[in-house]
Structure 1
Amino acid sequence: MIYLSILMAERVGIVIILAFLLVNIPAFRRLLFAKTFAARLQLVIIFALFAILANITGIEIDPTNDLHDKVLLTAVNHNDSIVNARILAVTMAGIIGGPWVGGSVGLIAGLHRVMQGGFASQAWFYIPSSALIGLLSGYLYKDKNSSFTGMTPKRGFIVGLSMETIQMIFVFLFSPTGWRLVSFIALPMIIISSIGTSIFISVITMYLRQEEETRATQTHSVLQLTNETLPYFRNGLNRQSAEKVVKIIKAHTNFDAISITNRHIILAHVGAGSDHHIAGETMVTNLSESVIHSGQVRVAKNAEEIGCSHVNCPLQAAIVVPLRIGNKVAGTLKMYYTDSWRLTPVEIQLATGLGEIFANQIALGEAEMQAKLVRDAEIKSLQAQVNPHFFFNAINTISAMMRRDADKARQLLLQLSTYFRANLIGARATKITLAQERDHVNAYLSLEQTRFPDKYEVHFNSEVNNDVLLPPFTIQVLVENAIKHAFGNRKSGNKVLINIWRQNNRLILQVADNGCGIPASLLPKLGQEVVPSEHGSGTALQNLNQRLTGLYDQQSHLQFDTGKNGTKVTISLPLQTKGGTGNESLNRG
């Protein structure tokens, strides 16, 4: 029995080594969480191959329990049995892919086992037993939300033990040698297979946990970079801003060289290759020109793909990301390694994300500069500004959340991106759709409510289509004003209600709160002049009121109804939709 245990451990070890190699392939890791039929089918193929490999590397055992250790078992005597790791592969298929994958792999594995025995009648029970084990491991132990992420090695051991025990029951009931065979192979197969299942789970979860930690670190790096580069890129894409930014990126990442270009010249380069990648001179790589013309991210894994004109260029791998402003590529962000093996999907993802953030920052900066040249310069300039207090509070909130919940931190980072995008849209347009305004409000609320859990309760009720038009930040300003000023130091029970409806040919927007009300002395000033407060500059309501009356008519001004039970702010706008339906031309403003 000891010798059998050693042989069985060798076979399970082969499966574990293959699992370790497999989990290092990004395409396989993506399959673990994909929900499509194609992904499930690929998992069936992969684990069916595992199971077949387990069958053909098994140990043949005759009716007298003598072992025949062969290299490969393509066929066995119909009276002989096989000790193998097939159930381990079937069990893992069920745990990872669910009952459909587990059952399919079990069916294939059982059918192959029958084929090995020449389709002998006494071997047919392997088909239903293997399929049943695959189904049970999928039904009983598949987490509904994220596959096997809740499976611990200890729990994996119990699952493996249970599934192998079921197989032994089938062998006892249907094998010609029955108890004689089971008494000899049961303990080694059950224990070794259970340990193998536990190790298999450990290998995959350990790798995914490390990948998750890497992503959390990457998110933190992106936040720091965003925080530090914002002041520079808001001044536009030029040599001065680019020189500052490449140094910041180099300090926060492990790249050997960083470069930023516009469409024609190198704006800044730091790190390896600085002797010939010189700021102010024309680009020296074919890869950069390709990205500018295609607008697509390009990855080079050797010097030939980079295409540097300098013969002795030390750069061996590169990620080039287009800095896209609207529909135009304004330049590129280039990140280099001197060793191509250091370029991994994590670095590619980091570079791509940074490129998108920098492009948004540049676009915001350009929008601010353009806003100063147009008729509504003062309004659009205010729209384009990102409140520094809100931005730094959001950064601090996301950084704190990252230590507790990396997934939540990434979601908040996306909301912050939505908030920036809304500022950009608001800087370029005098009117946006209700859907866009609602996204902006939701992004603001997600960040604010994470900072102050359960402090505010906000409800959004709309009786109109999402394509109606209104000035940017109309609802967001009123919601933010209510959250900042309406409730004082009250910690709970704070409610904000947003109501939108149509009244004849007018669009009615109303934001109501159950706060403390507005002092009578301030009421005549709101919307008419700057009203300073400890929570802001006091310009938001005045700016909003000027935009409303400037874009529409005097009937569109802010209307306040306040008392000790709260405040209602109502706006009446001419009803207009994105398609052009309404009482007034959309070309105005």
Structure 2
Amino acid sequence: MIHLLIMMVERVGVIVILGFLLAHTKVFRQFLRKQQGYKGKAVLIFIFSLFSIISNYTGIEIQGTIIRNEDLLLKVDPSSSIANTRIMGVEMGGLLGGPFVGLGVGILAGVHRFMLGGSTAFSCAVSSVLAGVLTGYIGYAYRKKHRTITPRFAALVGIAMETLQMLIILLFAKPFDSAWTLVSIIAIPMIIVNGTGSYIFLSIIQSILRQEEQMRALQTHKVLLIADQTLPHFRQGLTSESCENVANIIHRFTGTDAVSLTDTHKILAHVGEGIDHHVPSHSLITGLSHEVLKTGKIMKAKSREQIDCQHKDCPLHAAIVMPLTSHGTTIGTLKMYFKDASGLSRVEEELAEGLAKLFSTQLELGEAELRSKLLKDAEIKALQAQVNPHFLFNAINTISALCRQDVEKARKLLLQLSIYFRSNLQGARQLLIPLSKELDHVHAYLSLEQARFPNKYEIDMYIEEGLDDVLLPPFILQVLVENAIRHAFPRKQKHCRVEVYIETKDKYVYVKVKDNGQGIDTKRLQMLGNQPVFSEKGTGTALYNIKQRLHGLFGKETTLEFDVTEGTAISFVIPIELKSEGM
């Protein structure tokens, strides 16, 4: 028995090594995470069936009480049986892939075992199919309750499935005396090895998957940290000074050998290796940069020839070049260089892509702020200046914290942050926008704010149907909702509720934002909307700006109304205007 146990440990070692190599392939990890659809399930059935088939071929032949140690079993004597790790492959397929995958692996593994022959061929085939179905449903039920299959649970299931196989051999194999002799020899070694192998196999896969998730979370956090520090510089536009500061930040946080930023004509900043010939204010030098500016696509090079640097002694032998865009137009490039091509891994590529997208958004934000200085509408300009800066850093800190806890939620909040700032940028260039766009802005703001303070605010919207194309001044609804959340509620208030009402009557649109907060004292109420009201939480210009903009667009008949009988309700009425087809 000990001799058989040692030989089986050698066999299971082969399967574990194959599992280790497989877990390092990106395709397998992708299909393991996303099994939806027949393609994903078919791939998992093929992989785990292959494990079971290899186990059949590398099994140990048992003839009576004689153990035959052969390298490869292509045919089993009718009076013999096999001790192997086939059930482990079936079990892993069922636990990780679910009932459909488990059944598929069980059938293929069972049919192959049956075709090899032997006294227990039929018993082993039946046990393979049954183990596949059972582990599939067991894994499905366990994941619904506990989300992730643990190695310890996999080991217990492996022990149970191998025990079940022994019982099926006793039930179906003939004669019973021979079946009993066989089970007494192989039962304990097979139960121990398959249980232990299941534990090790799943531990390896989960360790690699967990490591990949942690790496992605760290990369996301790094991108947000870099974005946080580069934002003040990119708000100045794509200038030599701002780009030099940004390049230094990227170089410090990413560990690249060199970083360059360019516009469409020349190098604006270069930090790191190659500074002697990648000189700011000179031409772009590399042909790769010209190609990225021309195509607007991310490109990478893993040799000096591909970079196409004209300097023969350039130490930089690998690079990834990303386009920097603004409103769909490529306005420059971000280049990350490496002295060795091995430094340009998939991790660095994903980091660079994330930075390029965030930087492009920051540049758009910077351009919008520069353009806002030229706008004649002073109220919109003032409102834009107060909305953007204070909110971004709170949002980035919230998303950064979520990167370690819930990567998927962090990704969704990044999308909401993008919508929020895109709404800011678009609104800064228009006097009126459709209600649907303003509501997108409001929802993006609320998503980010509720992520900071989970379950603190309850927001209800009562909006009449068919008003998506009705026009109203940008930022008005968003600012009223933000004003309620920031100022209406004392810190200790538990139930904080904000209600938004939008409806039409005759030829007018009625808008009201109501909260159940602490209300407004009479002295302050007289000043709100008529002049800036300074406080510890801000300058108090938001309501004043809104009122002035309403007066400028619709006349002094349209103004802000305040009701403080229960909490605070702020409302206004504007004439109905509909979005034109060209807007």
Query: TM-score scaled to structure 2, two decimals?
Result: 0.92
The match for 1:546 is 548
Q: 1:330 to 1:186 in 2, by over 3 A?
A: same
Q: 1:252: how far off? A: 0.9
The match for 1:424 is 425
Q: 1:422 to 1:127 in 2, by over 3 A?
A: farther
- Which stretch shifts more, 328-337 or 68-77? 68-77
Q: 1:364: how far off? A: 0.6
Distance 1:278 1:131 in 2: 68
Q: 1:547 to 1:55 in 2, by over 3 A?
A: farther
Report SS of the residue matched to 2:280. Answer: coil
Q: 1:516 to 1:247 in 2, by over 3 A?
A: same
Is it true that 1:510 corresponds to 2:499 in the alignment?
A: no
Contact 2:9-2:193 within 8 A present in 1 as well: yes
Distance 1:404 1:141 in 2: 24
Q: 1:418: how far off? A: 3.4
Report SS of the residue matched to 2:520. Answer: coil
Q: 1:348 to 1:144 in 2, by over 3 A?
A: farther
Is it true that 1:41 corresponds to 2:39 in the alignment?
A: no
The match for 1:75 is 75
> Which amino acid is the alignment partner of residue 113 of structure 2?
R
Name which of 475, 480, 485 aligns with 2:482: 480
Q: 1:407: how far off? A: 4.8
Distance 2:138 2:148 in 1: 13
Contact 1:418-1:443 within 8 A present in 2 as well: yes
Report SS of the residue matched to 2:512. Answer: strand
Q: 1:469 to 1:164 in 2, by over 3 A?
A: farther
Deviations 1:327-369 (A, max 9, x none): 1111111112222223222221111111111111111111111
Q: 1:237: how far off? A: 0.8
Percent identity reads 49
Report SS of the residue matched to 1:124. Answer: helix
Contact 1:422-1:436 within 8 A present in 2 as well: yes
Give 5+ residue unaligned stretches, structure 1: 581-585
Distance 1:557 1:55 in 2: 82
Contact 1:364-1:384 within 8 A present in 2 as well: no
Distance 2:488 2:441 in 1: 21
Is it true that 1:492 corresponds to 2:494 in the alignment?
A: yes
Name which of 123, 137, 155 aligns with 1:157: 155
Name which of 496, 517, 531 aligns with 2:533: 531
Report SS of the residue matched to 2:525. Answer: coil
Q: 1:471: how far off? A: 2.8
> Which amino acid is the alignment partner of residue 7 of structure 1?
M
Q: 1:434 to 1:344 in 2, by over 3 A?
A: farther
Contact 1:463-1:500 within 8 A present in 2 as well: yes
> Which amino acid is the alignment partner of residue 135 of structure 1?
V
Q: 1:191: how far off? A: 1.0
Distance 2:124 2:433 in 1: 64
The match for 1:28 is 28
Distance 1:91 1:148 in 2: 18
Q: 1:15 to 1:421 in 2, by over 3 A?
A: farther
Q: 1:405: how far off? A: 4.7
Q: 1:306: how far off? A: 2.6
The match for 2:442 is 441
The match for 1:583 is none
Is it true that 1:167 corresponds to 2:165 in the alignment?
A: yes
Deviations 1:232-289 (A, max 9, x none): 1000012111111000011111211111111222111111222222211222223222
The match for 1:133 is 131
Q: 1:145 to 1:579 in 2, by over 3 A?
A: farther
Report SS of the residue matched to 1:570. Answer: strand
Q: 1:213: how far off? A: 2.3
Q: 1:325: how far off? A: 0.9
Distance 1:202 1:266 in 2: 49
Q: 1:77 to 1:523 in 2, by over 3 A?
A: same
- Which stretch shifts more, 521-530 or 47-56? 521-530
Q: 1:285 to 1:42 in 2, by over 3 A?
A: farther
Report SS of the residue matched to 2:544. Answer: helix
Distance 2:46 2:324 in 1: 41
Show the 5 A alignment for 1:94-243.
94-117=94-117, 123-142=121-140, 150-176=148-174, 177-243=178-244
Query: TM-score scaled to structure 1, two decimals?
Result: 0.91
Report SS of the residue matched to 2:523. Answer: coil
> Which amino acid is the alignment partner of residue 242 of structure 2?
S
Distance 1:162 1:294 in 2: 59
Contact 1:386-1:420 within 8 A present in 2 as well: no
Contact 1:381-1:427 within 8 A present in 2 as well: no
The match for 1:244 is 245
Q: 1:121 to 1:320 in 2, by over 3 A?
A: same
Report SS of the residue matched to 2:149. Answer: coil
> Which amino acid is the alignment partner of residue 90 of structure 2?
V
Contact 2:90-2:106 within 8 A present in 1 as well: yes
The match for 1:17 is 17
Q: 1:6 to 1:355 in 2, by over 3 A?
A: same
Distance 1:146 1:308 in 2: 55
The match for 2:365 is 364
Report SS of the residue matched to 1:142. Answer: helix
Distance 1:489 1:287 in 2: 55
Distance 1:210 1:96 in 2: 18
Is it true that 1:277 corresponds to 2:278 in the alignment?
A: yes
Report SS of the residue matched to 1:67. Answer: strand
* Equivalent pairs, count: 578
The match for 1:561 is 563
> Which amino acid is the alignment partner of residue 572 of structure 1?
V
- Which stretch shifts more, 521-530 or 277-286? 521-530
Report SS of the residue matched to 1:512. Answer: strand
Distance 1:298 1:145 in 2: 41
- Which stretch shifts more, 352-361 or 144-153? 144-153
The match for 1:321 is 322
Distance 1:191 1:468 in 2: 71
Distance 2:507 2:181 in 1: 89
Distance 2:216 2:144 in 1: 18
The match for 1:92 is 92
Q: 1:206 to 1:431 in 2, by over 3 A?
A: farther
The match for 2:258 is 257
